Amino acid sequence: MQTPSKEPESSSMTHEEEEEMLHDISKLQEQVQQMSRSQKLTDAKINGVEAKINGVEAKMDNLKIDLNTNLKTGMADLKTDLTNFLQEILTNGEKVVKETHDENKRNVNHDSIDANVGSKNHHIPKIDMRKFDGKDPTTWILQMEQFFDLNNVQNAQKVRMATIYLEPNQFVWYQWLCSRKQFITWAIFTEELIAHYEDTKSNTFFSQLISLKQKGSVMEHIEEFQKLNIRDNIQHDVYLWKPDSLEKAF
């Protein structure tokens, strides 16, 4: 006798179960969507960070380029400034040397340069010498020559020492002479002194000789004649030369 088979029981879900399942599915979908949005935001942030990193790297590269360029430019400018500075120092140094040399040349008043002059110091002898007041320059020059000879004064010191024995007005004349001539030797000084202060009433040598008259004693007359510094045996030569002053005849 066969036993009748049982039909399988149908697995039917209740309404509550279906709603619960739908709710779970909905939540799951929502979570998936949220995760997707989060992933997109993360990707966007990562892309932003990468872009910033790339920007920083580009700026660093540009900074390196600018730094190298500025360094090269700065070094070139520094080299130029240093070259100009050294050139200015050399130019100023040459100028100072030239000015010192010119100043030394203006202070040298002598006929010939003696190598030993600079090492010798001549003190002014304590001798009472009359100061030149503009009168009788020839006699004063002769007195100064004796003064120099007695005290072994060198040529390089004669002009400076002689100017100490000038009255204020005559010293002003000497300053004027210095402004006209760069070198003033003793010969130039005496020539200019006689030309400036000698009596110009008699214009020629012979007029000065002829105008010499005896005044006072015979000795005084002889002294005046000796000042003319001419001998009988050279009168003819002097006449042929025709000097226009005593100093040129000497």
In tens, the pLDDT along 59-91 reads: 888 888 888 888 888 888 888 888 888 788 777
Torsions phi, psi for 132 (to 5 deg)? -75, 125
- pLDDT reading at 195 higher than 80: yes
Mean pLDDT in the chain?
Answer: 74
Which residue did the predictor score with more confidence, 159 or 16? 159
- pLDDT reading at 52 higher than 80: yes
Please choose, from the candidates 210, 209, 205, the residue with its C-alpha nearest in 3D space to the C-alpha of residue 194: 205
Q: Give the torsion through C-alpha atoms of 46, 52, 57, 63, to 10 deg.
A: -170
| Residue count of the chain | 250
- Residue 50 sits at the vertex; the CA angle it makes with 47 and 51, to the nearest 5 degrees, is 85
Which residue did the predictor score with more confidence, 91 or 2? 91
In the chain, the percentage of residues whose pLDDT exceeds 70 is: 61
The rounded distance, in Å, linking the Cα atoms of 191 and 168 is 20
Tell me if 226 sits within 8 A of 232, measured CB to CB: no
Please choose, from the candidates 152, 158, 157, 150, the residue with its C-alpha nearest in 3D space to the C-alpha of residue 128: 150
The rounded distance, in Å, linking the Cα atoms of 127 and 151 is 10
pLDDT band with cut points at 50, 70 and 90 for residue 247: very low
Q: Average the pLDDT over 208-223 and give the result.
A: 51
CB atoms within 10 A of CB 208: 18
Tell me if 144 sits within 8 A of 137, measured CB to CB: no
Task: Give me 149's structure tokens.
Answer: 């000879």
Please choose, from the candidates 76, 75, 71, 107, the residue with its C-alpha nearest in 3D space to the C-alpha of residue 182: 107
CB atoms within 10 A of CB 163: 18
pLDDT band with cut points at 50, 70 and 90 for residue 189: very high
Which residue did the predictor score with more confidence, 128 or 58? 58
Helix runs in the chain, H state only = 15-107, 137-150, 155-163, 168-180, 186-197, 205-210, 218-228, 235-241, 246-249
